[in-house]
Amino acid sequence: MNQTPELKMYDVSEMAANLIPSEIIRLNNEINQKKKQGKTIYNLTIGDFDPRFFPIPEELEEEIINAYQEGHTNYPPAHGVAELRSALSEFLAKHLSLEYDPENILISGGSRPLIYAVFRTILDPDDAVIYALPSWNNNHYCHLTSARKIEIETFPETNFMPVASDLEKHIQEASLLALCSPQNPTGTIFEKSVLKDICDLVLKENEKRKGIRKPLYIMYDQMYWQLCFGKTIHHHPLEVCPELKDYVIYIDGLSKAYAGTGVRVGWSFGPPSIISKMRAILSHVGAWAPKAEQIATARFLKDEYAVNKYMNFIKPEIEMRLNGLYNGIIALKMNSYPIDIIPPQAAIYLTAQFPWTNKTTKEGKTLATQHDVTSYLLNDCEIAIVPFYAFGASPESDWYRISVGTLDKNDIHTILANLKKGMDNLI
């Protein structure tokens, strides 16, 4: 049997040799093995959508087909087709009161290349990046770019969102502040006053730096902003502090609000000096979104009826799943079960607590660590969810991300019953 040769440190770069594997991918490999063995697993780990429940908008699908039939199969411009950048300029102005010239909007194959380009454009080796924990992938982008991490662990008292007082003592040494709202993995958002305090802190710091050193930039990932529920309102930096326009780079895209994770159309907008360099970097990487998908996205976003129709479909479907699990877990908590959950606010995620360490099963097995709890959830409750330690939080953190984008609503009752059964088996 052929085996992959053992990797030696001198065979590859130090960066490649020390890449940290994804805990989510590891979990999914384990899940897939169990499924191959015929076991039922309710997989709520992936931040993706099951097309059976969440197909992309039919108008978008039709426009993608039309664009291919029209022959749009050659290279797109490095910064994106003009039609899409123009459509986005109008869309952002209408929905977020953000005024950006199409030349200052950059299109890419989803948000990941754009985030990488932000890090590459702003940071020199050992420049510092501040981000809150739990956090999606900022640690990996720091590793890829040799940036220095300043990690701020957050807690349920602030809905796992950072506040200005968390950041203040580190702000002077940083070149980039990576913020995300609605937040992945927590599904929570910045309150307006909290975001205002953070932005004021950055503005004050940049006033001190003028003409002396590199500014402090904010990368604001708002990929889920259209998926806010109930009374939740999305806020962004230039809404609360317009004076920051020269220092904020937004990350956005089609993937989440329109269930188009595989369509691969993302966009970024911000200061011309930053966007132009991001464009140059990505032109060498070749990370553009397919031309046909770009043209289709432009046509779709201009179709206000189609956009509203899809929002009227996807938001209630997601919210129903979030509320179904939330209400069920709260009912368990009210019946003295050891479990807790934060009310759903946005995105496709719930933040739930499983404080089961040091509990023993009736069979005599002790859940000594949070890893043991994760395994118990998977093997005994048949539920796969992602622990916050996979997002950089403390290994002792007993909080988890639950993702509902692939959840069959008919399985909600069974999942809750499995959780109850699992807790009934703990002493």
Q: Where are the domains positioned within the chain? A: 9-39+309-424, 58-304
pLDDT of residue 2: 47
Angle at 118 between CA 197 and CA 389, to 5 degrees: 70
Question: Right CATH number for 9-39+309-424 from 3.30.300.10, 3.90.1150.10, 3.30.420.40, 3.60.9.10?
Answer: 3.90.1150.10
Contact in structure between 202 and 171 (CB atoms under 8 Å): yes
pLDDT of residue 11: 85
If one looks up domain 58-304 in CATH, what number appears?
Answer: 3.40.640.10
Dump pLDDT digits (tens) for 280-305.
999 999 999 999 999 999 999 999 99
Q: Indicate the residue type of 258.
A: Y
250: left (phi over 0), alpha (psi -120 to 50) or beta: beta
Dump pLDDT digits (tens) for 154-164.
999 999 999 99
Dump pLDDT digits (tens) for 303-350.
999 999 999 999 999 999 999 999 999 999 999 999 999 999 999 999
Burial 175-212 (b: 16+ CB within 10 A, else e): bbbbbbbbbbbbbbbbbeebbbbbbebbeebbeeeeee
Looking at the predicted structure, is the pLDDT value of residue 106 above 90? yes
Looking at the predicted structure, is the pLDDT value of residue 99 above 90? yes
Residue-by-residue DSSP string for 297-355: HHHHHH-HHHHHHHHHHHHHHHHHHHHHHHHHHHHHHHTT-S-EEPPP-BTTEEEEE--
Looking at the predicted structure, is the pLDDT value of residue 69 above 60? yes
Whole-number Å distance between alpha carbons of 297 and 372: 44
pLDDT of residue 235: 98
Looking at the predicted structure, is the pLDDT value of residue 1 above 80? no
pLDDT of residue 6: 60
Looking at the predicted structure, is the pLDDT value of residue 214 above 70? yes
Q: Indicate the residue type of 91.
A: F
**Of residues 91, 133, 154, the one with CA closest to residue 302:** 91
Quote the mean pLDDT of the chain.
94
* Residue 269 DSSP code: E
Looking at the predicted structure, is the pLDDT value of residue 110 above 60? yes
| Cα–Cα distances in angstroms (integers) from residue 345 to residues 219, 261, 273, 278, 354, in the given order | 22, 21, 35, 32, 20
Angle at 117 between CA 280 and CA 346, to 5 degrees: 135
Angle at 20 between CA 14 and CA 22, to 5 degrees: 150
Q: E strands along 93-161, which residues?
A: 105-108, 128-133, 148-153
Dump pLDDT digits (tens) for 118-130.
999 999 999 999 9
Looking at the predicted structure, is the pLDDT value of residue 46 above 70? yes
Mean pLDDT value of segment 214-237: 97
Dump pLDDT digits (tens) for 358-401.
999 999 999 999 999 999 999 999 999 999 999 999 999 999 99
- Of the given ranges (11-25, 78-92, 207-221, 300-314), which has the lowest mean pLDDT? 11-25
- Of the given ranges (24-38, 249-263, 318-332, 337-351), which has the lowest mean pLDDT? 24-38
Three-state secondary structure call for residue 417: helix
* Residue 54 DSSP code: S
- The tokens of 36 are what? 């191959």
pLDDT of residue 27: 81
Whole-model pTM: value is: 0.93
Three-state secondary structure call for residue 276: helix
